[in-house]
Structure 1
Amino acid sequence: MSIKERFRQAISSAKNIVVTTHIYPDADGIGAQIALCLALRKLGKWVIGVNQKSLLQRYHYLDASNLVISAKEFQKNHGKKDIDLLIVTDTNYIARIGPEAEKAVARARNVLFIDHHPCPKEIAAIHCIDTTKAATSELVGEFITLLGVEFTPQIALPLYTGILVDTSSFRYPTVTGDTHLMVAKFMNAGVTPSDAYNLIYGTKKPDHIRLLGKILAQTKTNKSGSMAWISVYEKDLKEYKVDAEDTHAFINHLLVLDNIQLACMFRELPQNQLKISLRSTVDTIDAGAMAQALGGGGHNHSAAAILEGSIDDLLPATLEKLERMLLKK
């Protein structure tokens, strides 16, 4: 059975559907989630988006119909609702949706992962996983087309944004002609690329540029220049009054360096945690496998892991591990 047939079968037999995504959701997971909710509602399904926490303010414009709620709100208002199908976007591991969300949807009769990240073959055999797609939003675009639902501006914008962000503005090798054909459908539905870019990345205040300049000025590389890294400290975010969510794209500035194969960003999180973001520029360097080795995950060209501890404590050992994996020694 193809993944399209699997998707169609799961949808046809479900009346009440919950769509969720992973904790600390990005634009791809959220975009796929919102677009699916809108498309399935057009088919007459009872559908709602449920996440571990409410959407961050920066993503509210993607959810103009207020379809996505927190797990606590779902428990309060719909806790006794019979759920025929739980759709999980942009991850293929149920624990990644978060404990509150997992508890809220525990009674779902069926679960379907829709994702483009690598997974065990046993999971791929019964879910909708396609690792050739540039983003989960691209795959969801195909599924919505399969359902015969017309792309509206409200459906197309979240999907376009998901692909835009997950491919670092279409720069990863996973972007194909099919990706651009799908993007063309979104544009024909009313998405304007320049507007979509400005909405997700926003205009910046001078302090944002000053912080970026400070961080990039402290860029470090290994001897060969094949690996580069930057560090983002909580104290700097507070000093420059910059939201941590607005630092995601900082790592992409490293991708223009000569000889770069692996870009890394180390960002302090609250409660003594460290987020490590990885970007690979070549097919032979698997950022997802590297992140998995550190306890995280992702796909070939973009991945991340969260560790317990501070940048200063974890940086030396983590860099050593990354360089050993880069050199495969």
Structure 2
Amino acid sequence: MTGMKIKQILIESKKILLVAHHNPDADALGSMLGMYEILVHHWGLSVEMAVDGVIPSNLSYLPYFFLIQDGFRPERFDTVVLLDCGGWSRTNFFETDELNIDWPNNLIVIDHHATSAGTPGVHYIDTSASSTSEILWKLIKTWGLQFNSKLATCLLTGIMFDTGSFQHSNTGIETFQAAAELLASGADFSGIRGGLYVKKSQALLKLWGTALKKMKYDHKRKLATSYVSVQDFKRCNATATDLEGLTNLMSTIPDVKFALLLSEGENGVVKGSLRTEQNNINVKNLAEAMGGGGHIKAAGFTLPARIEVQGGAWRVV
């Protein structure tokens, strides 16, 4: 079994590095911090964590949050675990998934996204899971470990975030089973609720207001679109992580079949976030056509481009 093979690799490792995707969300952080709890406090292993980009400050209630680093020295680690991403390119630490160096000795990929990444190593991919945090819940049961409050808080955070608090179609029977067990194990539900849904910064609210004011509706395609420019981010004193959840809100408007939110980066890229609540629309196909990916109802892409505004219209150039 892949799960037991992963356990064997981990417990035989000398130094382990945990890495999540660039600009990590709550599932990426929840699964990574949960894995840290397992490796360090259950198995007594030597572990470090690293992510690139902006880390959402509203998730600072998570155990071990302040141990996350923004870089690493490869030669210090013999085993690497990639969480919530299918390859190195999604981490932003390397440009390609296939490294031209003899490192690391062991690479483990744990993800719930379908991927065609060329990253070598042991892959545990479960697209039926709501989140990488739910996959980790399954692995913990396979490994015969006991849940504690810290581990439960990390994993329930990831599950609640990726399911939109059990509203999205990726919510399954096992998702509820996992949530119930994690709550029974002492997950800090009040802290999770506050971090994910209650504590909204002024910067976030200003940015959302800016984007919603610009929103347009295409009656023919039943598409809601908006954009956020580099200047908007600066004016609102906001970051890209403050956009999390906005596309979901746009997709709930009556008669909207799917929503597209474009955001401009200072590094010469435009990111697109796609979301639908319709069962007969696959936004993943749209994202893949633009070189991106994701899920059937939630996907995204990144293009080397900028947003050009002329009058009341905008386009990506």
- The amino acid across from 1:300 in the alignment is I
Q: What's the offset of the Cα at 1:53?
A: 5.4
* 8 Å contact from structure 2 (residues 86, 113) kept in 1: yes
Label 1:316 to 1:227 Cα distance change in 2 as closer, same or farther (>3 A). same
Aligned mate of 2:241, from 245, 253, 274: 245
Aligned to 1:28: 27
8 Å CA contact 1:151–1:186 kept in 2: the answer is yes
Deviation at 1:45, TM superposition (A): 1.9
Counterpart Cα distance in 1 of 2:120 and 2:179: 25
1:268 alignment partner, one of 264, 270, 282:
264
Judge conservation of contact 1:31–1:158 (CA < 8 Å) in 2: yes
| Pair 1:81-2:80 in alignment | no
Q: Which of 168, 175, 186 is the aligned partner of 1:172?
A: 168
**Aligned-pair CA distance for 1:278:** 0.9
- Maintained 8 Å contact 2:109/2:121: no
- Paired position in structure 2 for 1:148: 144
The answer to whether the Cα contact below 8 Å between 2:276 and 2:297 also exists between their aligned partners in 1 is: yes
CA distance, structure 2, for counterparts of residue 124 and residue 108 of structure 1: 10
Whole-Å separation in 1 of the counterparts to 2:228 and 2:89:
28
Displacement of 1:152: 2.1
**Aligned partners of 1:277, 1:65: CA distance in 2, in Å?**
26
Deviation at 1:7, TM superposition (A): 3.0
Q: 1:127 to 1:206 in 2, by over 3 A?
A: closer
Counterpart contact for 1:231–1:265, Cα < 8 Å: yes
Q: Using the TM superposition, give the Cα deviation of residue 139 of structure 1 relative to its aligned residue in structure 2, in angstroms.
A: 0.3
Tell me, yes or no, if structure 1 residue 232 matches structure 2 residue 228: yes
Q: Which amino acid counterpart does residue 275 of structure 1 have in structure 2? A: K
Residues 299/123 of structure 1: CA separation in 2 closer, same or farther (3 Å cut): farther
Deviation of 1:48 (Å): 1.8
Which residue type is aligned with residue 4 of structure 1?
Answer: G
Quote how far apart the aligned CAs of 1:63 are: 4.1
Are residues 1:92 and 2:86 paired? yes
Paired with 2:21 and 2:102, the residues of 1 have a C-alpha distance of: 15
Equivalent-residue separation in structure 1 for 2:268 and 2:11 (angstroms): 46
Q: Tell me which amino acid in the other structure corresponds to 1:81.
A: R
The alpha-carbon deviation at position 288 of structure 1 amounts to 2.5
Distance 1:248 1:153, change over 3 A: same
Give distance in 1, aligned partners of 2:203 and 2:81: 40
Match in the other structure for 1:49: 49
What 5-or-longer segments of structure 1 have no aligned partner? 319-329
Q: Distance in 2 between matches of 1:11 and 1:206?
A: 42
The counterpart of 1:162, out of the listed 143, 158, 164, is 158
1:140-199 CA-partner distances (Å, limit 9, x unpaired)? 111122223322222222222212222223221111111011111221222243431221
Q: How does 1:1-329 map to 2 (within 5 A)?
A: 2-41=1-40, 42-52=42-52, 55=55, 57-64=57-64, 66-71=66-71, 74-75=72-73, 80-83=75-78, 85-99=79-93, 107-120=103-116, 126-204=122-200, 208-224=204-220, 226-312=222-308, 316=315
Distance 2:222 2:177 in 1: 33
Change (3 A) 1:184 1:98: same
Change (3 A) 1:93 1:283: farther
Cα deviation, 1:237-296, whole Å, max 9, x if unaligned, reads 333334432222221211222233321111121133211111122343222232122122
Tell me which amino acid in the other structure corresponds to 1:35: G
CA distance in 2, matches of 1:316, 1:238: 21
SS at match of 1:312: strand
Alignment RMSD (CA, Å)? 3.1
Q: Aligned pair in 2 of structure 1 residues 114, 177: CA closer, same or farther (>3 Å)?
A: same
Greater shift after overlay, 275-284 or 5-14? 5-14
Letter in 2 for 1:199: G
Residue 86 of structure 1, CA deviation: 1.4
The answer as to whether partners of 1:7 and 1:143 remain within 8 angstroms in 2 is no
Letter of the aligned partner of 1:197 in structure 2?
A: R
Which has a greater percent of helix? 1
Partner of 1:324: none
**Cα distance in 2 between the residues matched to 1:96 and 1:240:** 27
The whole-number CA distance in structure 1 between the counterparts of 2:75 and 2:210 is: 51
Amino acid at match of 2:271: K
TM-score by length of 2: 0.84
Q: Secondary structure at the match of 1:265?
A: strand
Taking only the aligned residue pairs, the percentage that are identical comes to 25
